[in-house]
Structure 1
Amino acid sequence: MNSLKCRILFFLVFSFFISQGQDKYWVFFKERDLSQSQPVSDKTYKNRENLGIKTYQESDFGPFQDQVKVFSDVGLKVQNTSRWFNAVSVYLSDDEKIKAQSFPFVKEIRKINNYQYLATNSTPKNEDGIYLSYALHQINAGVFLEKGWLGEGVDIGVIDGGFFGANEDESIQHLFENKQIKETKDFFSPPKNDFYREKKSEGEIHGTMVTTAIAGFNPQKKQLFGVGLKSNFYLARTESSQKEARIEEDNWIAAIEWLDSLGVRLANSSLGYATGFTNPAESYKPEQMDGKTSLIGQGARMAVKEKGMILVVSAGNEGENKVWGGIVSTPGDVEEVISVGANNSNGLKMAYSSKGVENVDFIKPDLTVYSEFGTSLAAPIVTGIVALMIEKNPNLKSSEVKEILKFSGNLSSTPNNFVGYGFPDCSKIIAYLEKKDLISKKTETRKANKNIVIKTTQNEGIAIFHKKDDKNVISQELVQALGGRLEIKKNENVKQTTLILKDRIIEILWKN
């Protein structure tokens, strides 16, 4: 009997007598099985070819199956297998972990020990007598309807916590009637019953609402909630939607790999991972929100940079969490993804919406969209827009999509870490894609000492951001001009102030 088999036999016998708590771990393997048959679909290869990225990638190949089988042979159930990270997730006791580390093919074992926050499970706001939801009205989404752009033929993946009642929700019935729901997969707990009937908490409708915000239309009220009406959907459940649930980030990684293997390029994830309730010692730390540290962030980054996917994620609802610093959650901290926060009707950040980290050289969130009910319902609005962009130009790269969205923002020239580049303007997106002349809002720069008077005929409230530098906001406010005059005073520690008027943006540079 060789040494590996001896270790396995000892491990099996030893584990039988061990009875203690287990934690979930990532087990990373030293080598990949490059002899595996085609690991992804022809559609995936075709997407990569069209985008000009490598079609053959070693990260498409996972661990050797006989090495993975070792864990089941000793009575341990592998939860998920990640091809991208060449790893499996598995529950291990302390003693089982020690024994697993002795396997010669194991490179590293890393604990999965973070918690999840989900946004509230309220439904999108209805505006009586208004055809577009306010979120769509704010971003001028009606121009897509005039063009007849509905996202036809575009595949969208939705990674979420549950899709309870989706097949009975009247706002997305057209997706079922027209067979636009192509595939579903439960990575958290394969239900014994129907995929749409698994309800362990009220939060299990979260994914249903997110899908509605991408492609929902209420025929009774004649109200549009999302613009991707003719897109195809691939639904992945990766979480229990209970608020204090332990993160199953391996499920998220398995889901994004599943979507990539099917050739699905566009994905929405309205799940964010940050701090926890039960055991704070196991939560992420604010300084880890750098877009590189978390494994789920690394997976998101790989999906965009290496696999050519377009990933739209919610920025998070930690804006009022002072202990956390109010910053974005992961994977919303990843530079390459499109992170979406929430703004109010005046374009100011909703109090709950997470802001970007200060000590990075990129802006987060990238955009904001109106939402009273969490950034979870802001991100899918943008996902719907992206679907229409891909319908118009299927070969758009993620970086190109992101630049177009940022250019269309009402703060395109003066972004900040509260609202990013602001809320998009769909008319500008169409103009860009149709290569028409683009008219950007004029930006003026003024210098002042302690105060400055701005002349304006604008009667509506004016959104103002006071900043410590060119991007990091100290405070925001809504002010009103009196008699055509608006006086702005320099606040303590403020270096720059941004005023958003209807006809222009004014950037005030305060002198010391």
Structure 2
Amino acid sequence: MASDRFTDFANTGQTRWILAALLLVSLIVPGQAQTRKYLVLLSDKANTPYTVDRPEQFLSQRSILRRQRQNIAVQTRDLPVDPAYMTQLQQAGAKIWFPSRWFNAVLIEASDAVLATVRQLPFVRGIEFNRALSGARRSAEAEPVETNASRKFGNVAALSYGASQSQVTQIGADKMHDAGYHGEGMLIGVLDAGYLNADRVGFLKPLFDEKRILATYDFVKKETSVYEDDSHGMSCLSAIAATSDGMLYGTAYKASFILLRTEDAATESRVEEANWLFGAEYADSAGVDVISSSLGYTQFDDAGSNYTYANMDGKTALCTRAAQIATQTGMVVCVAAGNEGNSAWRYISAPSDAVSVLAVGAVTSAGTRASFSSIGPTADLRLKPDLVARGQGTVIGAPDGRVASGDGTSFATPLLAGLAAGFWQANPRLTAAQVTAALRRSGSQFTTPDVRLGYGIPDFSRAQTVAETLKSLAVYPVPFSDLEPLTVSWGELDANTALDATLTDLAGRVLWQTRTTPPGLAAFTVPDIGLSAGMYVLTLVAGENKRSLKVIKR
């Protein structure tokens, strides 16, 4: 579900590892009992036929390589749901929509009677939020025909001339292009409400001519086509991918893309958060490098499902938890902060409250905050938004082929996602966490951040300077926390160099230690070992190289 006050524009050959997750569902026919959708949480993966030693069973080669480059191990969380549990859910009468590897859960559609049976199954741990994620439906024909997308996304004014230069130069993407980085070889996953006419408009024609749309999927309708629904995603895509001489150029217009529809613009329900989760898992499996998502969640059609500001704490909202896991698989995740700055809510929306995502706010062409751009901090007082880009008068593409302008953090987000892709292309040895950190540190107000613009406007050239420092020894964040664990990378070390790490308290007592021999970048994350707030000493030894430094837990 998208934030219902977005003021953005909108008009109303996949491989085995993807197909295995996309299950068919039967339509409800008139006369059947009312059904709702529930995310059923499962107890374990004890008898799954999948193993972490054979990730090629459920991850693409590109996804596996992305992890290996960043020294990210495949773990139990990555394993698919046990097929036997899926079968038993079906035998209980539930209609299966999608499974979730990360949450070990299955989205089902069920009547009250079937749900009661499902709850009694021995492997069912519970129901997400202990409630339905969508309202009752009597039949497929009962779904609303007209859309309320304009309420979510707003409108756009047409332009008769090209004016995209200022939004590109504002974040230094022109310098990135001059240096030869346009997103070549990078894979960007876009999660949105639809991509109306993306396969027909001239400014996206090279994407299709060069076969750089690698996959599409619609999690709302369970189909592969995404080009006949809402156009919000198409306009967001244009901010990254458009090529129209003298009119509009995206920030990473030579990248490849996966287009995923997770949002139903006609409704506001938590099932769209579940769709966001499935979309992020799909992106992970496909080997996506950067996720761009201009969707936010606070209020729903069912007011009883509404979030409060206290829920914007980085660990409550379903999509927020999904977004955080997505970053831990080695993807850079860019999400819109929201357009509630002028409303009673004011604050950021989920999943932009996730610790490790880049929450993107909006500024004008002059670099001042757009009044509608949502502000921080998070409910647990972390800085958000992270960065800002042009979100007022952003030059984008319209579904009729025109070049147009739009307002919203929705359009600032893909600008920054394209910058992230090109910057990572220029610095392939960096991890996703380092790319995120470098872009934050490149912000125009990194030394004086605030809750309105975060670290400010990023810049490619400044990020390049930061990247040089990260290629040596980098330990971040400072301070670290349970939500944002301590990460170490030592770019000076050669691949397959043994690295010993020891964490002690100030009295010298060993609290944790490990040895890693990474095949690529020497990097690791210190696991959660229940540390109290305070200062610790981290010692790193690699051959004759030894470093000791103090780190702080908050």
Aligned to 1:283: 306
CA gap of 1:327–1:226, structure 2 versus 1, over 3 A, is same
Aligned to 1:195: 226
Gap runs ≥5 in structure 2: 1-28, 136-147, 393-406, 471-554
Computed over aligned residues only, the root mean square deviation of the Cα atoms, in angstroms, reads 2.7
CA gap of 1:330–1:125, structure 2 versus 1, over 3 A, is farther
What secondary structure is seen at the aligned counterpart in 1 of 2:231?
A: helix
TM-score (norm 2): 0.69
**Distance of 1:359 and 1:195 partners within structure 2:** 35
Deviates more, 1:256-265 or 1:332-341: 256-265
Offset, 1:320: 2.0
CA gap of 1:45–1:266, structure 2 versus 1, over 3 A, is same
Offset, 1:150: 0.7
**Distance of 1:232 and 1:121 partners within structure 2:** 28
Offset, 1:288: 0.5
Among 249, 257, 265, the residue aligned to 1:241: 265
Offset, 1:418: 0.9
| Matching of residues 1-400 of structure 1 within 5 Å | 20-32=33-45, 33-36=47-50, 38-54=57-73, 56-110=74-128, 111-113=131-133, 120=153, 122=155, 128=161, 130=163, 132-191=164-223, 194-196=225-227, 198-199=228-229, 204-219=230-245, 222-242=246-266, 244=268, 247-276=271-300, 278-305=301-328, 307-322=329-344, 325-357=345-377, 359-372=379-392, 373-400=407-434
Gap runs ≥5 in structure 1: 1-15, 437-512
- The residue identity in structure 2 corresponding to 1:144 is M
**Distance of 2:109 and 2:115 partners within structure 1:** 9
What secondary structure is seen at the aligned counterpart in 1 of 2:185?
A: coil
What secondary structure is seen at the aligned counterpart in 2 of 1:423?
A: coil
- The residue identity in structure 1 corresponding to 2:40 is V
CA gap of 1:152–1:272, structure 2 versus 1, over 3 A, is same
Q: Over residues 131-174 of structure 1, what are the superposed CA-to-partner deviations in whole Å (9 max), with x where a residue is unaligned?
A: x4432232232212221211111011111110110011222111
If you compute each CA radius of gyration, which structure gives the higher value, 1 or 2? Answer: 1
**Distance of 2:388 and 2:431 partners within structure 1:** 21
What secondary structure is seen at the aligned counterpart in 2 of 1:296?
A: helix
Offset, 1:266: 1.3
Offset, 1:358: 5.2
What secondary structure is seen at the aligned counterpart in 2 of 1:79?
A: strand
Contact 1:121 1:205 in 2 (8 A): no
Contact 2:92 2:118 in 1 (8 A): no
**Distance of 1:357 and 1:432 partners within structure 2:** 25
What secondary structure is seen at the aligned counterpart in 1 of 2:319?
A: helix
Deviates more, 1:410-419 or 1:40-49: 40-49
Aligned to 1:439: none
What secondary structure is seen at the aligned counterpart in 2 of 1:166?
A: coil
**Distance of 1:275 and 1:429 partners within structure 2:** 36
Contact 1:121 1:206 in 2 (8 A): no
- The residue identity in structure 2 corresponding to 1:299 is A
Offset, 1:257: 0.8
CA gap of 1:318–1:101, structure 2 versus 1, over 3 A, is same
**Distance of 2:454 and 2:109 partners within structure 1:** 39
What secondary structure is seen at the aligned counterpart in 1 of 2:127?
A: strand
- The residue identity in structure 1 corresponding to 2:284 is D
Contact 2:99 2:106 in 1 (8 A): yes
Offset, 1:101: 1.0
**Distance of 1:358 and 1:290 partners within structure 2:** 6
Tell me the percent identity. Answer: 33
What secondary structure is seen at the aligned counterpart in 2 of 1:428?
A: helix
Q: Over residues 45-65 of structure 1, what are the superposed CA-to-partner deviations in whole Å (9 max), with x where a residue is unaligned?
A: 2211110121x3111113221
Deviates more, 1:112-121 or 1:78-87: 112-121
Q: Over residues 175-202 of structure 1, what are the superposed CA-to-partner deviations in whole Å (9 max), with x where a residue is unaligned?
A: 111111111111110359x531x23xxx
What secondary structure is seen at the aligned counterpart in 2 of 1:340?
A: strand
**Distance of 1:168 and 1:108 partners within structure 2:** 45
**Distance of 1:272 and 1:310 partners within structure 2:** 17
Aligned to 2:515: none
Q: Tell me the number of residue pairs that the alignment of Structure 1 and Structure 2 aligns.
A: 408
TM-score (norm 1): 0.74
CA gap of 1:88–1:378, structure 2 versus 1, over 3 A, is same
- The residue identity in structure 1 corresponding to 2:335 is V
- The residue identity in structure 1 corresponding to 2:125 is K
**Distance of 1:378 and 1:172 partners within structure 2:** 19
Offset, 1:398: 2.4
Among 452, 459, 462, the residue aligned to 1:425: 459
Contact 1:156 1:231 in 2 (8 A): yes
- The residue identity in structure 1 corresponding to 2:313 is D
What secondary structure is seen at the aligned counterpart in 2 of 1:149?
A: coil
